Every structure is written in C-alpha cells, then in structure tokens.
Structure 1
Amino acid sequence: MSESKQHERRARHRRRHPGLTVGIPVAMAAAAGLTYGTAFGIFGEDAQPKAAATTLAGTGNVADGFASVNALGQNGTYGGRDGKTVTVKTLADLEKYATAADPYVIVVAATITVDPKGKEIKVASDKTIVGAGTSGQIVGGGFFLGQGVHNVIIRNLTIRDSYAGTWNDKEHDFDAVQMDGAHHVWIDHNDLRHMADGLIDSRKDTTYLTVSWNKLSDNNKTFGIGWTENTTADITVHHNWFRETEQRNPSTDNVAHAHLYNNYLQDVAGTDITSSYGNYARGNTRMVLENSYFEGLNNPVTKDSTASIVQRGNVFAGTSGRNESGGTAFDPKSFYDYTPDKGADVPSKVKAGAGPRTTIGGATKAKAAAETTLTVGKDGNAQYKTVQSAVNAVPANNAARVTVSIAPGTYRETVKIPSDKPHVTLRGTGGSRKDTVIVYDNAAGTPKPDGSGTYGTSGSATVAVEADDFQARNLTISNDFDEKANQNLSGHQAVALRTAADKAFLDSVIVEGDQDTLLLDTASKAKLGRAYIRNSYIVGNTDFIFGRATAVVDRSVITLKKRWDGTSQGYVTAPSTAPDRKGFLITNTTVTGDVSARSFYLGRNWHAGGDATLDPQTTVRDSTLSGAIRATPWTDMGGFSWKDDRFAEYKNKGAGAGPASGDRPHLTDTQAANQEITDWLGTWTPTP
C-alpha cells in the first residue's frame, strides 16, 4: 500500500454509522505509571504483558483467570501442549508419564484404581492430564503437585472414593488434588467427590490457580486454600457446582487476590449432609465475590475481622446465618478479562456445563496420532536446514496439524505456506521468541531475480501464509529492508508477515519492520479471513497493521518506530474492511515506542483501489496509549473521510488517551458489549 495518500476517486453521499457516534465519555482509569521508549515496549525484550483472558465457552481449551496471567517465568498455563500425547489405561502408565520430566498430554481413557488407597500421584511440571470424554476416572486416590511444580492442567476427570469411613477424618489425608507451593495450575471440568479429606487443597502459597466448571460433591472438607502466613496467592474460582459439601466451599486463608464468581453452592434439604458454611475469607484474604448463587446454605458468606470481601450481584435463596462483606478488595479486570453470567442464570448454566464433557479429550488421541513434527536447524541434527524445505515436505491437503519445529538461529529466507497445506505451525524452540528469527529484505519495489518486474507490496512478505488454520509461536518474523540505502527504489513497503487465509493464530511472536509490517488479508474479497494475535510484539511506523482481515490484537505490545531518516510520523492501522465484516480490534494492549509526542495516528481508512463500498474498521479498547498518539487519533486517506467509516475507542488509558469528541469517537457501554473478542472470532476459539 502506498505511503502517500492515493489519488482514488472520492466517496460521495456516504452516511455515518449510527453505531459509532460519539458516546458519553467514560471515566478513565489512572495511568499506571508506565515508562516508554524501549525497542519492544514497556515489558522489556522478552517479557509478556499481563493476561486479559478471552471469555471462553465452558469447553474451551485455554486457561482463563489467574492461571492465564504471565508471571514467575511462566506465560499462562498450557500444560503439556509442547510434548507428546499418550493414552493411558493403567496406574503404572499414568504414574510414568505424570512424573516424567518432559512435557506430556496424558489422556486417561479408562477407570484407574489407585493402590494403595489414598495414594497421590506426584505430578511434574508441563503436564496436561485429561479424561477421554467421560471415560477417564481415578478411583481411590488423587494427584499431588509439590513445591515449584508449574504449568499443569487437570481436566475432564472423575476423581472419587478414597473415603475411609470416618466423616471428619483426621487420619487419612487423601485428597483429589493437593498443591503445595505450585503455580500456574488449571483444574477444569472435573467431577470430584467422596474423598477422605479435601477435594481440592491449595496450600503453601500455591498461586496463579484457576478452578473452573467442576462438580464438587458428597464431601466434608471440600476446598481449602491457605496453610501459610504469607499473603501472596492469586486464585480464580468460577462456574463450579458445590453440592452437599459441609465446609470449605472454599475456605480462603491469606490469599492476596481471591476472585470467586458464578459459582453455584447448593445444600439440598433433607439429606445427610448439612452445610456448615459457604465461602469463607480468613486471615488477610482480599476477596471479590460476584454473581454467585447460594441455595439453602447455612452461613453462606463469612469473614474474619482482618479479611475483606466485596460482594456484588450474588443471589441468596433460602439461606440463613452469616452473610458478610466489608473492606476493600481489588479489580479482577486489572489482571485478566472476563464476563460474568447473571447471578440468576447460574444454576441452570452450571448444572448444564460443570463436570466432565464428552467433547473434551475424546478426540485428542486420534488427533495427536496423526500429528507430525518436522525439525529445522543449522547444525546438521535436524531434518531440514531451511524453513521452506520443511514446509515443502508437508503433504498437500494434510488433514492434521504439522508442526515445523525450528531450532534457534537466523534463517534468511522467504517462506510461503500455500493454500493446500493447512494446519501448519511454525514454532521456535528457543528460550525466547528472539532466539529464532525468519528474516528477509524484499520491498515492493525490489526487482525480481527473473526480470519479471517487482515484488509489489504483498509479494514482499518474508513469510506468506495462504493456508487456513496456521499458527506461529515463539519466534520472530522480520523484514529488514534498508530504506535509507535504497532511496532509488520506488515502493518501500516491506511486509514481514502476510496472512491471506482464515484462522491464523500468532502466539508469543515478534513481527517487525518499518512500512506495512503486518498484512492481515483474506484469500479473496468475498472470503472471511480471521486472525488472532496475542502476547506478541508488532513493530513498525507506517500503516504497519493493515489489510481486509477480521483480526484481533490481544494482550500485546505495539511498538512505534521512527522512520529511516529519524523523523517521527506514522499510522498504526490501515484497515480495508468489507462492509459486512469486522475489521481490526486492538484490546488489552500497550501502544508505545521511542518516538516524538503526538506524532502517530491510531489509523486511517484504506479504500483499496478507490472502492467506495468498503467500510474500514478499527476499534482500540481497554488499552494503554503512550503520549506518541495524536489527540485526534484518526485521519483520512485517499480522499475518503474516516468519519464515514468505523473508528472508535473504549476505556483506553495513558498519556495518549483522551475524552470523547466529534474527532475522537468513544463507544458507549452498550456498543462496547458488541465489540468483544468473541464478536470478532465468532465460533472459532483459538487453541494451543
């Protein structure tokens, strides 16, 4: 795309979109005291921004809540996704893989009886233990995660029946899941019941834990959190069904940030089990308790005098006794994104969605068996020496994922993934996404070697993706075209990555260049092309996120870069969106860079080819904008007024944010509710 405004025919008689009229200015959060100016933004060279997890359906494959937050050297919780997938049906095999040092996805496809009774299998880091549909059961024992164990998913299992005959058992510490000093753990969609001690014990500063969509029942001491004098743990508990559980539902002791929402606590009258209390905040706990449903419980919400509980939106039906709140807590959305269900809807939703699902784990074995890994490296130990040669080895119309595993190094080459090779992942194997670099220096005006002309903008891409369901992870894709040394060339657009397909997922990557860095396109004007970019850096200066795709940039850093001559002037986005499609959504992201104040626009409207029917769209929301952003952040292009297209902000903060005006549209809360990540991605849930 041309840097200068194109001489395209002027659009006439186009109406403004009523959905993007200026709304009531929203209150801005206080600036977070962030500093700007490093090459890769405020997080340093290889740090990650805080998580803001996508709101996912109950059977999604990505950890949310505090388990999704990047901390302690761990980027979210993804379990054994980088390792092999194995299916187990015996206790010996389950122990073999659960305790191994290597990452594994362990599919439990049978009922496994633990011997001796009450034994807790010691789980090592980087594991996913998942039931195959509803067939995975652990009987008479459970799991133990010790000090420092991290990145573990326990999912879709039934863990039951270590009960030793004594209700208030002081002798048998038989838990379903016990954690002592672990971090980044996701316990999801399990059926936990009838154990001698706790169903879940989160102890000794275990943190970055999410417990979601579980059924917890028929137990005395159900879910205990604490056993420490420190107040450091961060825990999310949501959409769980506590039924016929006497105490610790949960009991939360000295937790820095305890976020409990959309849980269903039920004590049915006339049964043998009567609740002693429901949610309990002990010690110095700070708890946010919202939109949960308490039915028939005694003492549904209790707190120590030293603890804080902020309640909102909870429903209490037939409860009695203590129902307490007080003190100050925290804002969960400062750590991650979430959308709670209404409290009144919780019983029906949780009953329908909690516990093991036939849709989780059942297909994992078949899928994994067909997956292939191709290795690339320069030391002679890999299958291929170039990335393109590995891509060439992918069979046409492959039905399952092929991962091209790329060793650390700099690969100076262009890579094309043609449309008949879907399900390809390019994954760097280094400790940092900077360790593996794919780079080239073609520009739009660069002559082709065969003399057939120049590459043009789209042809200049270092990596070109034309196949659906593409993924890139833990690497850098760069175009290092030297504008200063090539002033004689006409056409300095130099694309690092071009996607022209549907379901492109970029996770923990760096995409860097100058002009036209990231081209998010579609296979054709009539086809849908979706892209989701998270935990990544995008670097450039002129229209460097552009194209007609439906794309989300989430939890990332957009780094503004000076031009080749040292001047500061640029445009972050240049959408070219079809009128019936979504354009670009930038959310929970930081826009920063070592450039002059008020020198960059957030975007301008690209009517490719002078097409007046296009309806370019960029929404920037819930993000931090540096002072480099202009006070009027949108501008015209090619004779088309941006005000006739779709450009808006919502709840941004930082020195570059500003109040709503005719030159700076803000979404209303109602409009913003329809401009979430799921509105962009539709039925597609990007998964590791």
Structure 2
Amino acid sequence: MTHLRSKRLSSRCRALAAVTALVTSLGLGAIAPAGAAADPTTSGPVTPQAPKWSDQPHGFASLDGGTTGGAGGKVVTVTDQASLVKYAGAEEPYIIRVAGSIDVEPFGSDIVVTSNKTIVGVGTSGEIVHGELHLNPGTSNVIIRNLTIRDSYVEGDWDGKTTDFDAIQMDTVDHVWIDHNRFTHMGDGLLDVRKDSQYITVSNNRFDNHNKAFGIGWTDNVKTQITIDHNWFSGTKQRNPSADNCAYAHLYNNYLSAQVADGDPVWSYGNWSRGRTKMVIENSYYEDVQHPYQADATAELVQRGSILKNTTGRHDEWGTAFDPRDFYDYRLDPAEAVPALVKKFSGPQETLGTNTVLNVPADYPTVQSAVDAVPSGNDGDVTVRIAPGTYREHVKVPAGKPYVTFRGTGDDRKDTVIVYDTPAGEVKPDGSTQGSWGSATVVVQANDFTARNLTFSNDYDEAAHGQSQALAMKTTGDRIVFRNTAFLGNQDTLMTDTPKLETVSRVYISDSYIEGDVDFIYGRATTVIEGSVIKALSRGSTTNNGYITAASTWKDNPYGFLITRSRIVSDAPAESFHLGRPWHPGGNPDAIAQVLIRDTELPAAIKSSPWTDMSGFSWKDARFAEYRNHGPGAAVTADRPQMSDADAPRYTVADYLAGTDDWAPYRH
C-alpha cells in the first residue's frame, strides 16, 4: 500500500455542551467544535454550537478515492422489508432512508447490500430487527449510518455457535463507512469485517448487550486498513474489537465499559491485536475491563494517552506499528472527555438522516439532476450543495418535492450562478411561445424551499434582441426563503406567485440583491424583502425607465409586497422610475395590488409621483403606501400615500408571513 497522506482533515464536529463542565473541571479548558467562536464580551467558557455531523467519512474510508455511498443516485425512503431489499440490492446507486422499524422475515435473514449505497436511519426511528445487512465479496463504496440493528439472538446460544446472524457482515469489500449505529443482542457477531476488506472506517457506534462484538480478519493475508473511533462498547464480552492480520488498525477515542463479568480468564477482553496486525490505540478510556489491550507475539501494538480505570490483566505494548498521520489527519479528543462524549453522541442521532446532502457537480452533474434525485412526496430535508461555477440550465423544483435547499458553497453568492437566456417570446417547436413559465431560469413550485449564497440570472440580451419578459426566478410554493441571494435580469426578473388565485403563498427574501427595469418584482404571493438592495436599471430614458413592482395581490389577502429596511439604488436619471403599478392578470378586477415600502432608502431616480396606472386600472384603487422612507427619492406628497403610525404596527414582517402556522423565517 502506498503511504499517501490525505490532506483532508477529519471534519467531524461534535457539540460538547454536555461535557464542557466535565472538561473544564479537569483543567482542560473549554472544548468547542470547529468554527465555534468565543464571545468577546464574556470571559467565561465558550458555549459550543449544536452538533453538526459530517456527511463525509474520515480515516481510512476517506482514502484512495474516498467513500461516497449512494451519492449520484436517487433518494428513497423505505418503511418495509421488500422496499429495503429492492433498493439495497439494486445495481444503480441509491441513498436509502430507513423510516421506522423493519421486522425482517424469516428470522435472521440477510439483506444484501450492493455497491454504491447509502443506508441511513431517519432520526432515531430507523431499525432493522431480526435481520442482517450483508455485503458480498466485491462490494464497494457503502455507507451505513444512524440505524439500530437488533434482536436476532437465539436464546441459549450465547457463543453464537448455531447461527450466523450478525448485524453487519462484509467479505472482501472496500470503502465502507459504518457510523452512528447501535448494534445489540444479535445471533453471532455484531459487526464482522472479514476476508481482506479494505479502507474501512467504523465511528460513533454503540455495541452493547452481546458476547462477540466486533471482529476483523478471517484471512491469512495482511491487507485490511481500518479506522475505529468514538465507539462505545458496553455490556460486551469479547472482540471490542479483535483485529486479526490487519495491515493497519487505528483505534482512538473509544470507550470500553461494563464488560460482561462471567469469570472467563481468556475470552473476556477489550482490544486484541492478533496475527500480524499493526495496531495503534490513542486516547481511549477503559473502565471495568479485563485485558484492556493485548497483542500476539507476532503483532504490534502502540498505545498512548489512554485512561485505565479498574482494569485487570494484560496491557501489552510492543513494536512500532505505524503512524496514522502518514495516511490522514485527525483530531484527538482528550481521553478524560471520552466517556461523556461517547455516551451522548454515539449511536443514532435525532439530527441525522433527516437532511440528505446532494453535491453538484461532485455527485450530480447538474442542479436539475440533483433535484431529479429527490423523491416525489419527499418528507425529509434535502440540501443541494452547489460548488462555485456557472450552471447554464433551466431548473424546476416540482410541487411534489418540498423541503429542498439550494446552497452555494463559494465564499460569495456571485461565485455560484444558475443562468439561462430564454425570453418569454421565444417560439417553441409547436408554434407557441415560452411565456413566463418557460422563460424562467429557475421555477420553484414546491413548498418549503430555501436558497442561500448563490445567484439566479436570466441573461437574455435585450439590447440585441428587443425587450421581453425574461425571468430569473418564478415561485408558486409557500414558505420559500432566499438568504444572501441575487436575482439578475431586466424585465420581470423575479416573480413570486401562487398556484391558484385564492391561495396564499409566502416568500421571505433577506440580505439579497435584486435588479431589473420593468415590473421586475411582481406577482400575487405575499412577499417580504428585508435588509436587501434593489437596483432599478436604466433603459436610457430621461422620463420613464421602468417600474420596480407590479403586484397582483388577491383582494381578500391583506398582505402583498413588503419592502423594509432595504436600499433601492439606481443608475437611472432623476425622476425616471416608478415604485410600482397594479397588475390585473387577464384584466381580473379582483387582483388588487398591495405594496408597502417602509424604512427604506430611495434614490433620486424615484418619481415624485411614484405610482402609476396599468392596463386601464388606476393606481389609486390599489393598496399602495410608504412609511418612514428616507433618501433623495423620499417625499410626502398627495400622490404618495403614507401609512399612519396607528396602522404601521399591523404591517410588519411578522404580520405578512405568519399565516395560520406562525411561520417566522426571519428569526433564523
């Protein structure tokens, strides 16, 4: 094996709030996960952030191309054995979410897991009962996370001699990550890593209530490379783990406690370096364990930094083994903190399996292909992480795919751009035109969509081809959030709409940038734009360069558009831009625009009479108002209705967005 050192840092972030007091009392100071910052106004310990589990494996599973599991495949949720068998054994990649308890029949049966699969329990609900996950020879690239696998034990068979009902068994496989699972009370071993399996990481798991916990080997060859960290072995007798003929076994920050006390002088033990294994143990904690770590005369075992409490028997150390940092970087937690850490954060976690991460273009070549991987009827959060770059494509998030987040991963929102150049007037093959739906670079029909740190653009060239609607974004879903996003276009840049006339959909935009010229913020959705910059682009006219808003609020909806605590800027001449006009789609008289611009800076480009008629409908019949605006374009005149101090408290961000479900995205 080539000794190539990975530069990928172990990105596991743990919340240590539960152990801060313990660690501080030990004189170690406060411990916080990566990214936690001290409050400069206080001198006490740092309060760590909430847990943010890594979606990427560390240790040996991160090497030689890494372990990505089902990345690139579709996301499915399974609740029964037939579905789990179907997707786990499929030829193509899948991300398989296990929701609820699956009782396997016949008792002790194998569920075969093929290559390129991620199997993850949803919160703490995912269980496989009376069955085994089995990886056959040649299987590669598998992630198994956040599951409980339990109860295939046959009464009276404590030594597992009559059945081979493991929780997970793998033979001659490579690149496997076993993380945050609980294994208990099975028929033979809990976890068997067998027959030259390579590039394995086993982290954050619980092994309990069992005889033979975790075995590695069953081979005369010396090939296996395995990382074992932050696991809790409790109420087990042996194989914690037993590592036979491993090329490299790196064990760190594991907790072994409450070993089964049956008086067996040999086969009750903690870690065993067997055959020709090279084993390194670091900063682990052994409590009430017989033979905490031992090695065959042919093996090597290096131990450093561990704590022994009430241990007896063998404490073998000989040979030089290897240096794990020749292969990968990692962070050691203090041995003193390990019991509290592992008790709290090993095993299934409420926050895991509830947010599936899809990476573009690492796993999915386009944004739309990532959206296509989201299941219809999606019931879990899905984050599409979009790397810096320009993605020239149309993207549609259908109504049946809620809870999707687009997140640009660059340093700035301008680093990640989704763009196309379709105008509404473009003729389709059937002779019709694209219209607003077809022109939009991105269409979001789903509820509960969020976008962060990226740019949506329609770069249709008006100067070359003539003025036309050309949308960067069109939404019809409810509870949509845009944070630190940009919307670039000219006419009709951003349309926030609803699926039906009488339906209320809500959109919240903060810390963002919107530019355009004609009706470039429009539609009938209840829309709040807060703490943002709106740029009114000049079309070269000295008298009329366009209209910022064109609301079509349904008559029974008291809340249309709110622009608050923002800045409107413009390169247009003074007195050449309107704040808005009332849009009545199809001449519908019941679309009565409601727009309030408050506590916002207005440029000199804003007309002194900033509201105007549209398609025969008077602006005076709409619900237009300003409140406490400032800047060179702000004024109070007869043509500029001002909201009263008495009414203003009823037209806040909270009032616009609350609805019947008290939605409050501005708090997060």
Q: What TM-score do the two structures reach when normalised by structure 2?
A: 0.50
| Higher RCO (CA-CA < 8 Å; seq separation 6+) | 1
Structure showing greater Rg: 2
